[in-house]
Amino acid sequence: MECGYEEWYSFRMTDSFGTLIKGSWNFFAAHIKPIFIGSIIFGLLMFGLQKILETQAANSMANHFGDMEKMEEYAERIEQGDEEAFQEMMMKMGMMDEGELDEEAMEDMAMDLMKGMLPMFGLAFFGMLILSLVSSIFYIVLAIEGSQDFIKSMKRIPRFLLPMLGVWIWSFIRSFAWIPVLGWIIAIFVGPRLVMSSVILVKEGKGVTDSVKLSYQRSRGYWGKIVGNSIVAAVLVMLVMFVLSIALGFFGVVSITAAAIVAMILQSMMTAYGAIFVVRLSNTIMANPLQPVATNKKPLS
């Protein structure tokens, strides 16, 4: 007869989804002043980046196609079924030769347009990435430290700027970079377990690779809770944004620009709530890790 031990894992009771949602909202409401200030700043900056991108894109189109008002006139005539409008537009753009489309000229214009717009879109993407990074750090720091001082939380951003970017990149490599090789399976099962990396980085001051590794280790057994809670929370946030978007639609009749700015501010506030939720979800998981429990095996005869 042999006796031995087998290991199984148990974990304590984590906060329920309802508790997380309510607790996140209570924190959000209690810290509305720094959140609102941050949302205004980040929302205005994001709006500014989009306007710069739109202006540069319009200028690039005008340089290639000439008078944009004339192009819009051609487009309206084409929509109304005017067959001559298309030919006139192609001739004005230099894409029609002796009544036939010049495919080579069309390809050259498309390439020139792409080459002209790629640097602009690259800079805009980089700017939006940095802005998203800064806002994420601000809201995570705020959610962890609970400061009511906007300036104090902002001063913490430079310390985590490069490490947070590293966490984002390393988390991507650990999960989504495998998609071309192994499909979505790795991303689906690994990605959610790295959600705590940013929280560990800020809260415990760990390095980039350690933050990602610890997130994966501490989330063992909690994949379902992370995915389920995150999906439902995201749906609720989207519903709120949908309702607010309808209200902004009526507001936009008065001022489209003002409605767009308010939309950016509200989007930033939803990002703040999402960061608070992630921090609280991470905290309850890290406070209730899986515990190995040794039990006697059944006797073997």
Residue 130 token pair? 């940095």
Secondary structure class of 96 (helix, strand, coil): strand
Other CB atoms closer than 10 Å to residue 159's CB: what's the count? 13
Predicted confidence (pLDDT) per residue in 56-77, tens digit = 766 666 665 555 566 666 566 6
For residues 32 and 105, give the distance between their C-alpha atoms in angstroms, rounded to a whole number.
Answer: 56
Residue 200 token pair? 């560990």
Q: How confident is the model at residue 105 (pLDDT cuts 50, 70, 90)?
A: low
How many CA atoms does the CB half-sphere of 43 hold within 13 Å?
Answer: 22
CA-closest candidate to residue 65, choices 92, 104, 102 = 92
pLDDT of residue 26 exceeding 90, the answer is yes
For residue 5, the cross-strand partners are 296
Global pTM exceeds 0.85: no
Q: At what angle do helices 223-254 and 17-30 cross, to 10 degrees?
A: 40
